[in-house]
Amino acid sequence: MMRLPAFAYLPASTTVEAAQLLAEHPGAHVVGGGTDLFPKMKRRQLEPKVLIGLRGVPELCGIRVNGGATIRAGTRLHELASAPEIVRRYPALARAASLVASPQIRNAGTVGGNLCVDTRCNYYDLPYDRRCAHGFCLKTGESDVCRLAPGGDRCWAVSSTDLAPVAHVLGGSVRLVSVRGERTLPIAQLYTMDDGIAYLQKQTDEVLTELTLPPADGLRSTYVKFRRRGAIDFPLLGVAAAVHTDADGTCTEARLVLGAVATAPLPVPKAAEVLVGGALTEESITAAAETAMSATKPMDALDLPLAYRRRMVMIHVARALRELVPASA
C-alpha cells in the first residue's frame, strides 16, 4: 500500500477548538479513528494538507441513556456494540456496529466516522496507478464524467454506512457544531440523494458531535447486512427495519430503510405501508419484500451483478421482517 502524503496534524482538546481549527484551515479534515480516511489518503483519493485530531476531546466520548440515548461521536464502534443499555433498548444499532469491518477496525473506528463514511465506488476505489492509467473520475474533481455512467454528469458512488440506516428508522438526529454555532439535523436530512460527491448536508467546517435517539417506546428494530464475506467487507446491502405492534399483534407502524443501494440511505415507505394494519404474516412480509425490490434500483458502483443484488433486496428485507414477528404470533 502507498505511504500517506504529507500533512500537518493539529490535535484539538475541545469541540470548540476543533471547530475553530476547521475555520482557520479551509480544506482540513477531522480524524478520529482514521480507518476510512487513512486508506483513502494512501490511495490519493483524499489529500488534505491538515488533519484535525479528535481523539483527545473527552466530551466526544461516551454513551448516555436516559429515556432516549445520546451517543457521542468519538465513541468506538466496539463500545457501542457491547453497551448493555444499547443492546437492550436499541438492538439493531448494536448489531449494526458489531457488523462493521473487523474487531481491529471496530476498536479504532468511531460512531461519527461511520455516520460520515465516504461513499464508495469500484472505479473511485481503484489503486492510484490504475486510475492514472485509465483516467480519473468525477468524484476526484479531475474529470467531467462519471466513469460508470459516462453519459451522466452526476456521481453515483454508494453510501456504505452501517449505522445510518438504523439511526434513520430509530428517528435519530445529529448535533453539528461550528464557529457559527450549533444545529440539530435529523438523520433523514443528513444525507444527499443522487450526489455521491456532496453526500452529506454537514458543512465542511462543522464537527458532528453526537447521535441522539428518542425513546424506543416499544419500537422493535433489527438490521441485516449482506456482503461478499461474513466480515471485513462493506455492505452490498443493509436493511434496517422497525415496527410497532399492538397487544393483538397488529402492526401499527413500520419503517424500512436500505443502505448501499443509493448515494444515501434509502427509505422505502411503500413497502413499510404494506405491513400496517395487519399481523406480520408470511404473506404480508413477502408482499413488503417484493414492494421493496420493485422500488429499488441498486447502483452499478459495487461488485456482483445488479440483477442479483436487486433480488437480494427482496430476500434480506424478508429476513429482517421475520425477525420482528412477535414471539406469540
**Residue the block writes with cell 489529500:** 47
Give the sign of the dihedral formed by CA 230, CA 234, CA 237, CA 242: positive
The domain containing residue 55 runs over which residues?
1-59
pLDDT at 209 over 70: yes
Q: Predicted confidence band at 81 (pLDDT cuts at 50, 70, 90)?
A: very high
Taking CB atoms within 8 Å and a gap of at least 24, the contacts of 268-277 are: 268/292, 268/295, 268/296, 268/317, 270/295, 271/295, 271/317, 275/243, 275/251, 275/321, 276/251, 276/252, 277/250, 277/251
Among residues 139, 141, 101, the alpha carbon closest in space to that of 120 is found at: 139
Looking at the domain assignment, is residue 130 inside a domain? no
**Per-residue pLDDT, 329:** 61
Tally of domains in the chain: 3
pLDDT band at 1 (very low <50, low <70, confident <90, very high): low
Average pLDDT over residues 238-256: 97
Average pLDDT in the 6-32 region?
98
In contact, 255 and 169? CB cutoff 8 Å:
yes
**Range in 120-129, 215-224, 276-285 the model is least confident about:** 120-129
Residue 211 has pLDDT above 70, yes or no: yes
For the domain that residue 36 is a member of, what is the CATH number? Answer: 3.30.43.10
Q: Is residue 153 part of a domain?
A: no
In a shared domain, residues 200 and 270: no
pTM score, two decimals? 0.96
Residue 143 inside a domain? The answer is no
298 & 168 share domain: no
Out of 97-101, 119-123, 174-178, which region has the weakest mean confidence (pLDDT)?
A: 119-123
Q: Do both 64 and 203 map to the same domain?
A: yes
Beta 50-53 vs 8-11: how paired, if at all? Answer: parallel
Q: What does the chain come to in residues?
A: 329
Mean pLDDT confidence for 298-325 = 95
| Helices within 226-305 (DSSP H only) | 269-275, 282-294
Domain boundary pick from 23, 43, 59: 59
The CATH number that applies at residue 312 is 3.30.390.50
